[in-house]
Amino acid sequence: MAVRVQEHDFDVGAEIGRLREGRTDIGAVVTFTGAMRGEDGEDQGLTDMTLEHYPGMTEAELERIEAEAHHRWPLQASLIIHRYGLLRPGDNIVLVVTASRHRQAAFESAEFLMDFLKTRAPFWKKETRNDGSGGWVDAREADDSALDRWQAGADAPMARPKAAQ
Amino acid sequence: MTDKTPATVKILYFAWVREKMGRAEETLALPEGGATVADLVGWLRTRGPEYESAFARPEVVRAALDKTHVKPTTPLAGAREVAFFPPVTGG
């Protein structure tokens, strides 16, 4: 388990290599990379974006989310990297890597980590449009509703506790 | 305030809450009688125009106590650090 909050970019291939180095217990690796799009939700072109965060709480919250994923799925390893500071279209924002013996746990937990990260990790995006206007990005209701399927009692297979798999 | 609540608390502001406040943090001596996060917000709103502006719609301002998400009804219960911020938009 590892969490990194950093200003500089990350290399997805190098991170996977480090995570798997010397390990023969890993049969499945899933990665999710989030990148900055060159337009906002209203199709307005963007020049850049600044990501603010809450140092200390960000790391603590990501570690809590990661621990919850390990509680729910039999994971062999995981990694969360989230950038902050000034980003431009095409830049990497976030990386989630999950590794397990079989693919289902890695697939499902990667999605779980992203859904929880988007609604709980204390980051805020401020965009600048091509015309110089801009402002703070509003939270999306879709992100909140994405969380619902992970609640206990949901029918989705990913909601099964680790013991049932 | 209960006996457990410290006399002073560090308060942090983020994103547009920080911008409306005009500062990122401050340390305030809390009044007696405010026991929950919502009580604290109610008291802050009486302190000046920047507070009134930042907390004009208290339902959209989120809070954390000692770096953990909390609800408005959560007791302050001795927290050393309170943070106020908009709904998060990372990822």
Domain membership of residue B5 (yes or no) is: no
Q: How far is residue A112's CA from residue A37's CA, in Å, rounded to a whole number?
A: 22
Q: Domains, chain A, ranges and CATH?
A: 3-150 (3.90.1170.40)
Q: Tell me: the pLDDT tens digits for A26-48?
A: 999 999 999 999 998 788 899 99
Predicted pLDDT at B17: 98
Calculate the CA A4 to chain-centre distance.
11
Which residue in B67, B87, B91 is closest to A114 by CB distance?
Answer: B91
- Output the average pLDDT for chain A: 91
Q: Which domain holds residue B39?
A: 29-85
Q: Tell me: the pLDDT tens digits for A108-164?
A: 999 999 999 999 999 999 999 999 999 999 988 888 888 888 886 544 444 444 443
Decide if B69 touches A, using CB distance below 8 A: yes
Q: What is the ipTM of this complex?
A: 0.91
Q: How many domains does chain B have?
A: 1
Assess contact for A117 and A150: CB atoms under 8 A.
no
Predicted pLDDT at A28: 98
Predicted pLDDT at B1: 46
Question: pTM of this prediction?
Answer: 0.90
Chain A residue numbers with beta carbons less than 8 Å from the beta carbon of B69 are 61, 120
List C-alpha distances in Å: B68 to A59, B74, B83: 11, 11, 9
List the one residue out of B90, B13, B24, B76 whose CA is nearest residue A65. Answer: B90
Chain B residue numbers with beta carbons less than 8 Å from the beta carbon of A138 are 87, 89
3 state DSSP class of A14: helix
Q: Which residues of chain B have pLDDT under 70?
A: 1-6, 33-34
As a whole number, mean pLDDT of residues A78-85 equals 98
Domain membership of residue B79 (yes or no) is: yes
**A5: number of Cβ within 10 Å:** 18
Domain membership of residue B78 (yes or no) is: yes
